[in-house]
Amino acid sequence: MKRTVLPLALLLAFAGCNKQPPPKAPTSSDTASATPVSGPFTAQELPQFAALDPIDTHTHAFQNAPALYALLKRLNLHTLDITLVDDYDPELKDLSKERKDAWKVVHASDGYIAMCSTFDPFKYSRPNFARNANRIIDEDFSRGAVAVKIWKNVGMEIKDAKGNYIMPDNPVFEPIFKNIAAHNKTLVAHLADPNTIWEAPNPNSADYDYYTQHPELYMYLKHGVPSKASILVARDHVLEANPNLRVVGAHLGSMEADFHQLAQHLDKYPNFAVDLAARMPYVEMQPRADIIAFIAKYQDRLIYATDNELNPDSNAQDAMKEWESVYANDWRFFATDDVLEYKGHKVQGLALPQPVLRKLYHDNAVKWFPGILATH
């Protein structure tokens, strides 16, 4: 694959990462006339991807499927299997069953999958809530879990007896955060959602399909709901109150529409990193030079992830075809100068230096999720 030459400032940002400048970058006319690349890895691409020792730190796999394990081995890919409690999803209502399914997948994966535990926030008002939540979390830690998930129903759905929304900085959750930090584990925080969830329907938005299929989480249709900003402020309170707690903000920390805001947070909170799960369209639609510069500056704080799913009733063979296409298209965007397409828009691959790719796909996951490869 051709590599692009970066402007001098960007090459300096990547100092020490790529000693051989790549060839001349394609022009905008080249991009407009090029045929977009898509589909699974080619025979030439797969070894390049596998050589990164890639890790996907955000998946939801609850089916003991040989097709899943075969794909991971073929791609030399490790994943983090994330659990959560969603009262609107019949497969995710019962945490006990979900944990059982997830551990079965982890144990059958031959070390390719690690576990992310969670707690049931709907039980927040019960006596000994934090103690009981930590008991389950500690059990998962003892079996090798490397992280704990807090999900967006905190801030967007769960209310107290007076009708007030329960926010992530509610004191009831603090013993859980302290326990995670004490075990040197990581909090995966999916708090809030894209701006469009609070806005009128827009078929051109990256999230249109999601909120039309999940009206229960479409805040625009509700009254008296917290603003997105208030939820993120509460998240920031958790970061400030727990400086020894590693926090990975899922989905670009729900700041996908404002990379300046994201940069400010990464500058302010050294215990905060973000994953890219399900937010690649926001990355791809940034001006190419701008996103290259952003990645160069924050190359130690960005973690590759997808949000790929494999539910108990999924067709595993079909799902794995989708998974591979996601991995292939994401890799092409980051690693090559290929032209890709999103909603009719052609975008140019970034052709990032190999050491930066290694951080995005491997090193940062190992740093921010200690033990994620310990079972392999």
Is the pLDDT at 6 greater than 50? The verdict is no
- Greater model confidence, 357 or 209: 357
Q: Residue 376: pLDDT band by 50, 70, 90 thresholds?
A: very low
pLDDT recorded at residue 30: 62
Q: Residue 4: pLDDT band by 50, 70, 90 thresholds?
A: very low
Is the pLDDT at 247 greater than 70? The verdict is yes
**105 to each of 53, 86, 186, 276, how far by Cα in Å?**
20, 20, 21, 23
pLDDT recorded at residue 28: 57
Among 364, 363, 328, CA closest to 46: 328
pLDDT recorded at residue 207: 87
Q: Residue 344: pLDDT band by 50, 70, 90 thresholds?
A: confident
Distance CA 144, CA 156 (A): 30
Distance CA 115, CA 122 (A): 22
Is the CB of residue 307 less than 8 Å from the CB of residue 319? no
Is the pLDDT at 15 greater than 80? The verdict is no
Q: Residue 23: pLDDT band by 50, 70, 90 thresholds?
A: very low
pLDDT recorded at residue 19: 43
Helices (H), the chain: 8-13, 28-33, 45-50, 66-75, 95-108, 129-142, 153-156, 174-182, 208-213, 228-241, 250-253, 259-268, 280-284, 288-297, 316-335, 354-358, 364-368
Identify the structural domains of the chain with CATH numbers, from first to last: 8-368 (3.20.20.140)
Residues 258-288 pLDDT 10s: 999 999 999 999 999 999 999 999 999 999 9
- Greater model confidence, 29 or 112: 112
Is the pLDDT at 339 greater than 90? The verdict is yes
Residues 155-194 pLDDT 10s: 999 999 999 999 999 999 999 999 999 999 999 999 999 9
Is the pLDDT at 16 greater than 50? The verdict is no
What mean pLDDT, rounded, does the chain reach? 91
What percent of the chain lies above the pLDDT cut of 90? 82
